[in-house]
Amino acid sequence: MDDLSKQIECVLAQHRKENIRESTLKLYQLGFNRLLRLAKSMGICSLTQVLENAFLADNLHTVTGRYSSTRHKLHKLCIRKLVEYNENAYRGWRRPLNRNIDKPGLPEYRQIHQAFLAQLHTEGKSKGTVESYRNISCKFLLFAEQSDVLRLEDISEKTVVDFFVALRASWAAESLRTAASGLRTFFRFIEVDESLLYALPRRLPRKTAIVDPLTEDEESRIWSYLAVQKLSMRDKAITGLIMLTGLRAVDVAGLQFNDVDWFCNTIYIVQSKTKKALVLPLLPRVGNDIAKYICLERPTSTSQHIFLTQKAPFRPIGRGLCYHIVSKILRRSEVPKRNCGLGPRFLRHHVASKMMNKGVSKSTISAVLGHTNPDSVDVYISTREDKLRSCNLPLDGIPMQMEVLRP
């Protein structure tokens, strides 16, 4: 057996281990067989650039003689699988992302930046936090290089101020708050002079949005849709769980079997964003939907995550799929679009607003939603129109006079 045949067998064997559907494997086998026949006719026993080009050029339908996009895509996928296997030893289903990420140019800056990222991972920072801090710290170091500040010791208050002035030209004021937070963490890591920390902008505005919660009619339509329509048990369980608890999508996707206590009827998780423990009651409706999914629909898998993808290879879902599921159900329930979109975050707003309308205290709402700062729920206060109307001041007793508007 030549090298090309061995590579193809290894790729297909790996896909079989990942429980890829047999119909998909047969489709790939069809493409690989074409590649082997072409290689044999050309007298080639390994994957070369000449063989790749000839295989990709073979894109005509065998019956009509016209260009076939299906044939071209299949051949392109077969080549991609083999290239990834040869170069990266990658045999998975998803294509790895080759991102062009900016890096500091100076060796000293690059070394300290890599050490900073390693420290963030050691501290258990979330993926989003690490990416945000990586981006802003890299931008600052690149700005320092362009400003001829070639050593960490030469960074001054003026460098920090000039950086934020330049950043303000393309960043919103609310985004500068995140930038200042990330740069503050970076400065503390490199142990700069305290004066640089004071040079960072303070009292920046927080990004907030007034979100109208679900009306009683809209909420009723969603529950009716979940009860009547033929949806997957997984989608029903996920939507019901978020609607009744306000959990973040990333925490729903990461929910595992040992997080659910069926005897005490509680859900215990460590939140992905805050790393804080959160205990919530397992409501009957939520518990029943999750149990039905586990017993009747969940694919057979060794994964400890509760919610899995519906197609092989069966892996834990991500927060992106959570958003897609919730958004699809809300749109099909004819819920009008809000300014924050129709997803798990919108339902999180709805849960907080609903508790507030029932007179639940801010501290309790903050605890249920898993906030570390009780003031984080202040944005939900703006959604209560009756409370806003009660805050207006009467104009009685204020002297007023009529004036004629003149052109």
Confidence at residue 47, expressed as pLDDT on a 0 to 100 scale? 85
CA dihedral 178, 180, 183, 185 (to 10 degrees): -80
Domain coordinates in residue numbering, the chain: 3-88, 107-199, 216-387
pLDDT level of residue 389 (50, 70, 90 thresholds): low
| Greater pLDDT, 389 or 122 | 122
Q: Is the pTM of this model over 0.95?
A: no
pLDDT above 60 for 156: yes
CATH fourth-level superfamily of 107-199:
Tyrosine recombinase, N-terminal domain (1.10.150.130)
Low-confidence winner among 158-172, 183-197, 392-406 (lowest mean pLDDT): 392-406
Q: pLDDT tens-digit profile of 8-60?
A: 888 888 877 776 778 888 888 999 999 999 988 988 888 888 888 899 889 88
Low-confidence winner among 199-203, 286-290, 357-361, 396-400 (lowest mean pLDDT): 396-400
Low-confidence winner among 87-101, 118-132, 355-369 (lowest mean pLDDT): 87-101
pLDDT level of residue 349 (50, 70, 90 thresholds): confident
Class of domain 216-387: mainly alpha
Confidence at residue 20, expressed as pLDDT on a 0 to 100 scale? 75
